Chain A
Amino acid sequence: MERHAQHAFDAEEVMAYLDGELEPRRASALAAHLVSCGECQEVAQGFRALSERMLNFEVEHPSAGMNETVLAALDSGKSSSESNAKDAVAHKGWNWRRVFARPRNWAIACAITAVTILAIAIPHTFRERSLPINGRSFTNLVTLERETPADKADHNGLFHGLHNGSEAAFSIDGQAANGELHAPETVGPMIVQTASLNVLATNYDEASAAIEKLAAAHGGYVEKLDAKAQTGNARELSAALRIPSKQLDGFLADVRKLGHVEEENRSNEEVGDQYVDLQARLKSARATEQRLIELLGTRTGKLQDVLEAERELARIRGAIESMQGQSTILVHRVNYATVQVELSEEYRQVLGTGSVSTGTKIRNALVEGFTNLEEGAVGLVVFLFSYGPSLLFWMAIVLVPGWFAWKRFRVRAQG
């Protein structure tokens, strides 16, 4: 099939033309060319002859048995060569390029991934929310999970009787044990306790050292500690402590033993309503977050709408985190009472001569007198400069008309 180098159509194009695979415009041109070009006619004839010759490779007809087997399988819905047939299509089907090209496969993969993530994330989230309430710590809850199924149901996010005797039960995130969301209706008392003590220590050194030890012994900790030891004054210690609510009475009794209690105050604040309100808002915000996520996942719209939805989602998530933080703090305040202890020692005045000489005192007084004089003069100048202009202005406004009014009054009186 060697062709003249300058020929308008190459042999491959002639072949494609004969196969009906040449583009229409080129095919028309080639058809016209073939009429007049003997060389191309020869090439075309060569291809035709080859095809005809290939048809000599004949095969016999299939046997009737093939028909029976296939039609029997059609009727029975089964096949005798099931595995091979399945393999053929399965092998054909597992073309990774085709698998990745199908949106349906992506959707399935995304759904599986989402379900897996949720399956992993939900238990973790739940545990994170199971914060300590009223002395029941996270560790306790984990331990309780090993208890009986009934106990598990009890502790699975539910907190029964925040205080002894209370029958109220609610979920920390407003989610019932059966997975249905509903707002807690009744809540046991949630009390934030605070106490303050002013103690005159019998032995200040021992008492100040004992404060931290007592706090630790009762399961609490020191939040803030200030100690003062000024010359000529009694030493003082001010400590802000956080003590587990259940241990508060015992702790206060121990502190009282440190000396003479000059003042003691206790107060209780009910925060149950705050907590319920917080949980309700948290639940609402989570529902909104979920709706936004679903909206972003399932709906398509303008880019601006999508961005707006994402901004709203970010805002809601920020609010959720903030409310979770508030909830945690509130629960912590319930669990740990705040105790303010003011510890002071009995002051004993010490008799002794002053360390400063009389001459130094006189000199210091003289220096102080001059300093006061200078500061007074400077203060007067500063005052005049600061307020002088405005004083003159107001005098002009008020006194000048007054002066004329006075003169006129005098003239009338004399006349």
Chain B
Amino acid sequence: MNSDDQLMLEFQQGAREAFVELFERYREPIYGFFRRRLDHPARAEELAQECFLALLQNVQRYEPRASFRNYLYGIAIHLVAAERRKAGREVVENEKLDSRAVEGNAAENSDAGIWVRKALGHLDNSEREILMLREYEQLSYGEIAAVLRMPVDTVRSRLFRARAALKDQLMPVK
């Protein structure tokens, strides 16, 4: 099986199938990335589309300096940041996260899922992002550090704090 980077390079050479393969691999993860961070499924889908379109349009500028995952999630992170700036959500992020847990797609989430969303909403923005990238996108510490442009040690310590805080939220000491 070809690696992501190899597929991207093949696509750069004009292989349509390579992109289709990449799209198949990352369609759901990228949608999940946006969906867990945004209120509305439709908007999450639009941004996921934009993420892949950005990949399409800038294929010739791609250089395999870091992993393809870094590149792709780097684009996704910027799209989310732009979306938040546009919507002015930065300030009321926590409240929104709380409310969307109930209003958004409650049907798709179990009670446990709702609690997780609510608990995530109480975390510090940076710590929450690191934790989500680790748990849901399965990025390594190094990849998270590259995407968020911070030292690996910082990623590890913040991840530890985030997990500790989340554990306190979800699993109070008996």
Interface residues of chain A, those whose CB is within 8 Å of chain B, are 1, 11-12, 15-16, 19-21, 46-47, 49-51, 53-63, 65-67, 69-71, 73-75, 77, 79-82, 84-89, 91-93, 95
Contact = CB atoms under 8 A, between A and B. Distances in A.
B116 A74 contact: no
B54 A57 contact: no
Contacts of A89: 54, 57-58, 61, 75
21 contacts: A12-B160, A16-B156, A19-B141, A55-B135, A59-B108, A60-B35, A63-B45, A66-B45, A73-B56, A74-B23, A79-B56, A80-B53, A81-B50, A81-B53, A82-B57, A84-B50, A84-B54, A85-B50, A85-B57, A92-B74, A95-B149
B56 A57 contact: no
Contacts of A53: 112, 116, 170-171
Interface stretch (B2-10, B24-32, B87-95): B24-32
B141 A79 contact: no
A107 to B, nearest CB: 16
A279 B14 CA distance: 56
Interface string B31-57: 110011000010001101111111011
B112 A56 contact: yes
B interface: dominant SS: helix
Contacts of A79: 53, 56-57
A66 B49 contact: yes
A141 to B, nearest CB: 49
B49 A69 contact: yes
Contacts of A47: 163
4 residue pairs, one from A and one from B, having the closest CB atoms = A56-B112, A85-B54, A62-B31, A79-B53
Contact of B141 (A21, A54, A81): A21
Given A61-B31, A62-B27, 19 more contacts: A46-B167, A47-B163, A50-B170, A53-B170, A53-B171, A56-B112, A58-B108, A59-B105, A62-B28, A66-B48, A77-B56, A81-B50, A82-B53, A85-B53, A86-B54, A86-B58, A88-B51, A93-B61, A95-B149
A69 B141 CA distance: 33
B16 A74 contact: yes
A19 B35 CA distance: 24
Q: Which of A1, A46, A51, A54 has the largest count of B CB atoms less than 10 A from its CB?
A: A54
Given A12-B160, A89-B61, A92-B75, A67 B27 contact: yes
B78 A81 contact: no
Interface string B102-119: 000100111011011100
A57 B53 contact: no
